[in-house]
Structure 1
Amino acid sequence: MSAADAGVLPTRLLLATRNAKKLVELQRILDAALGGHRVELVGLNDVPEYPEAPETGLTFGENALLKAREGVRHTGLPTVADDSGIAVDALNGMPGVFSARWAGRHGDDRANLELLLGQTADVPDEHRGASFVCAAALVLPNDTFPGGKEHLVDGRQTGRLLRAPRGAGGFGYDPIFLGDGQTRTNAELSPAEKDAISHRGKAFRALATVIAKVLVPRG
């Protein structure tokens, strides 16, 4: 029996990113959270190209909402966007919203990681605390939801910075981040293990609950 026959209609949802790993991550979390309901997740590479507004917000939440609003405006699709990064205690919370472009070029994971390791090389172990932070937004189009609706959630994972990368999984700063209570870096965890404890996993699970309430049809 098809999803439509069961009274479960597919929903198309835009994740405002070109990061294929984020798409896989959110799809995995949505599938687990929504049970038998199917949500078709698409990224920016799957929709007609539009000019992406610069991330000018001073907080993760401001940037997530900015990107989600732009997605709705240009595509008409319900849009999810997140802004996330690492906040290092010894750097007064930086790189923060600049995490993805810390070394100067957006998305250069290796350069960002190496720069952060260099900047914290002299920081003693007891002061290497850090947190992964994620804000995730869902913005709904006005024509489907009169007046429009916006939802914002966040998630955090606390831990500390290592002095050298470990693990080949994940992305970004995962290889140098050891979460509290963990013996393996985020890059050494399986996708399911990472989802269970990560900042993005927590934020996306919270958002999946919202998506289930506002987008999944009631049968």
Structure 2
Amino acid sequence: MKLPFPTLILATGNAHKVQELTRSLTPLQVPLRSLQDFPPITPVEEDGATLRDNALKKATGYALQLGQWVLADDTGLEVTALQGEPGVRSARYAGDQATALDNRKKLLALLRDVPIEKRAARFVCHLAIANPEGKIWYEASGECHGRICDDARGEYGIGYDTLLEIIEYRRRLAELSPAATRLIGHRGRATQRLLQELKNCV
């Protein structure tokens, strides 16, 4: 695969996300770096109305700062019974300084009276790659469907992953191995589509 970029910067400092994306992007066979390799960086404000808005804004903003090709993502949990919340505010659901535990507690409190069979939810991930001039070249998205359970389980995921049960597997997303997550997880599916997009365009 002949690519337009010799190196790709992952627009995140989250070690778990860097590890997951690095594994999924192995077929690119190019060096991958993260924001941790480029201090100091001015954070790009994630104030978009949609996950796609934030992914594009981060890809563009960090590409212009670094003068590099940048891959950015934004991911959110959408719960049907809550009209799509927390959605674009998934990471800040319980407040701007909220922890993952705070967010999970708020979500479960709002779902306290909702029976398990009516707790359908999905993770959505949007990926975007921008060139050093800040132009978006490639985009892809992926989804992972399940339902929200009251008890947190699993060691592999982050955030709400411990609550989302993949019904056909009867296991939380966070209980699935990294290899399984790359196949059926929202970020894994988005990455697969991005790789196909890159293959079709180069």
TM-score, normalising length: structure 1: 0.84
Answering whether residue 185 of structure 2 is matched by residue 198 of structure 1, we say yes
- 1:152-171 matches, within 5 Å, as 152-171=139-158
Letter in 1 for 2:117: E
SS in 1 for 2:159: coil
- Equivalent residue for 1:13? 8
- 1:38-57 matches, within 5 Å, as 38-57=29-48
- Equivalent residue for 1:129? 120
Give unpaired runs (5+ residues) of structure 2: none
- Equivalent residue for 1:72? 63
Taking the aligned partners of 2:19 and 2:144, their CA distance within structure 1 comes to 20
Answering whether residue 160 of structure 2 is matched by residue 173 of structure 1, we say yes
Answering whether residue 16 of structure 2 is matched by residue 25 of structure 1, we say no
Taking the aligned partners of 1:209 and 1:93, their CA distance within structure 2 comes to 28
- Range that drifts further, 190-199 or 204-213: 204-213
- 1:78-157 matches, within 5 Å, as 78-105=69-96, 108-142=99-133, 148-157=135-144
1:161–1:149: structure 2 CA closer, same or farther, 3 Å change rule?
closer
Q: Which runs of 4+ in 1 moved over 4 A?
A: 211-215
1:193–1:106: structure 2 CA closer, same or farther, 3 Å change rule?
farther
- RMSD of the alignment, in Å? 2.2
Aligned positions, number: 201
Identity across the alignment (%): 39
Give unpaired runs (5+ residues) of structure 1: 1-6
